[in-house]
């Protein structure tokens, strides 16, 4: 019995050590550097853009303009894949009459560097500065999905967007890690914060939270908690489908909900 307990303890401590050492790879899944397509393969005219960060890195980005755009949208994607895996979302935002700037964080796709929490903040600022210079007269929207929602929330505390949309959002990395790995002291092991639930208290712009009750990665209650902490004006859009499929499976309601939010929130 004691031998079995010792073996289990060694395995448990070994898993803890691996979680500590490799948590960066779990959070930032940068393995797919090649593009699977471009916006023109989806029928969208676009421009390749190189963004330059304050610490001297070059980031890969796309600018997809809309004719007679109602607003420009800065798109922060999730923790896996690259900008080329977001073509369906780019089509959807184009249908909504939005010009879009989407970027790959440092270490993702064709962007230079290695990802980090402070690094994604610098990447977000570089994208915001470019967007301000490109479309100074249009309302500006920050959009983030999953990890990108955390990046967007942090940027929204530093700049003045006209609207913010956070999809599949979590309260913070430590809180999410504890929910995903309840048998480990994951909250105390993580080296990352992304404290969204605190940052939304500082956001003054109209806010839309989008979350699916069927999200198998970030529980629906995470989105509810962020929404509860946020300031007014705010709206909640409930969709269906998995973490990576909700915006497609719920497309009709998804687009209608975003359209209504923009109609009510953007300056005319």
pLDDT along the chain (268 residues), means of 10: 60 54 74 86 94 98 96 97 96 98 97 96 98 90 98 98 98 85 65 94 97 96 98 97 96 98 91
Q: What distance lies between CA 242 and its chain's CA centroid?
A: 16
Residue where the block lists tokens 């920050």: 142
Both tokens of 70, joined, read 């109602």
Give helix then strand counts, H and E, for the chain: 10, 8
Number of domains the chain contains: 1
According to the model, what pLDDT value does residue 179 have?
78
Cα separation, 103 vs 78, in Å, equals 11
Q: What distance lies between CA 150 and its chain's CA centroid?
A: 6
Catalytic residue numbers read 146, 215, 243
Cα separation, 18 vs 44, in Å, equals 43
Output the domain CATH number for residue 20. 3.40.50.1820
184: left (phi over 0), alpha (psi -120 to 50) or beta: beta
**What 8-state DSSP symbol labels residue 29?**
B
Residue where the block lists tokens 């915006």: 247
According to the model, what pLDDT value does residue 90 have?
97
Cα separation, 255 vs 259, in Å, equals 6
Cα separation, 167 vs 169, in Å, equals 5
**Residue (of 142, 133, 82) closest to 106 by Cα position:** 82
CA 209 vs CA 41, 136, 220, 261: distances in Å: 30, 26, 11, 10
Query: Hey, is 37 helix, strand or coil?
Result: coil
Phi, psi dihedral angles at 154 (to 5 degrees): -65, -45
Q: What share of the chain is helix, strand, coil (3-state, %, to 5)?
A: 45, 20, 35
Three-class DSSP labels, 68-118: CCCEEEEEECCCECCHHHHHHHHHHHHHCCEEEEEECCCCCCCCCCCCCHH
According to the model, what pLDDT value does residue 20 have?
55
CA angle 18, 24, 25 (to 5 degrees): 80
According to the model, what pLDDT value does residue 53 have?
98
List the domain range (segments joined by +) for residue 226.
Answer: 2-265
Q: Are 128 and 149 in contact (CB under 8 A)?
A: no
According to the model, what pLDDT value does residue 5 have?
61
Cα separation, 68 vs 87, in Å, equals 21
């Amino acid at each position: 019995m004691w031998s079995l307990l010792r073996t289990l303890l060694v395995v448990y401590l070994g898993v803890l050590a691996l979680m500590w050492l490799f948590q960066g790879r779990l959070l930032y899944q940068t393995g797919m550097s090649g593009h699977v397509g471009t916006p023109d393969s989806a029928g969208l005219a676009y421009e390749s853009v190189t963004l330059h960060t304050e610490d001297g890195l070059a980031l890969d980005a796309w600018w997809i303009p809309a004719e007679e755009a109602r607003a420009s949208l800065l798109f922060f994607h999730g923790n896996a894949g690259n900008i080329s895996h977001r073509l369906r979302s780019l089509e959807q935002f184009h249908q909504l009459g939005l010009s879009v700037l989407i970027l790959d964080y440092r270490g993702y796709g064709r962007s230079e560097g290695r990802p980090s929490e402070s690094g994604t903040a610098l990447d977000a600022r570089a994208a915001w500065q470019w967007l301000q210079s490109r479309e100074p007269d249009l309302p500006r929207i920050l959009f983030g999905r999953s990890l990108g929602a955390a990046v967007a929330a942090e940027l929204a505390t530093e700049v003045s967007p006209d609207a913010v949309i956070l999809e599949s959002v979590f309260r913070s990395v430590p809180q999410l890690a504890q929910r995903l790995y309840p048998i480990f002291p994951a909250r105390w092991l993580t080296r990352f914060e992304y404290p969204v639930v605190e940052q939304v208290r500082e956001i003054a712009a109209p806010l839309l939270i989008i979350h699916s009750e069927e999200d198998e990665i970030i529980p629906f209650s995470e989105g509810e908690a962020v929404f509860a902490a946020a300031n007014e004006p705010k709206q909640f859009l409930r969709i269906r489908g998995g973490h990576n499929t909700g915006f497609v499976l719920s497309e009709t309601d998804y687009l209608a909900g975003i359209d209504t939010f923009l109609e009510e929130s953007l300056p005319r």
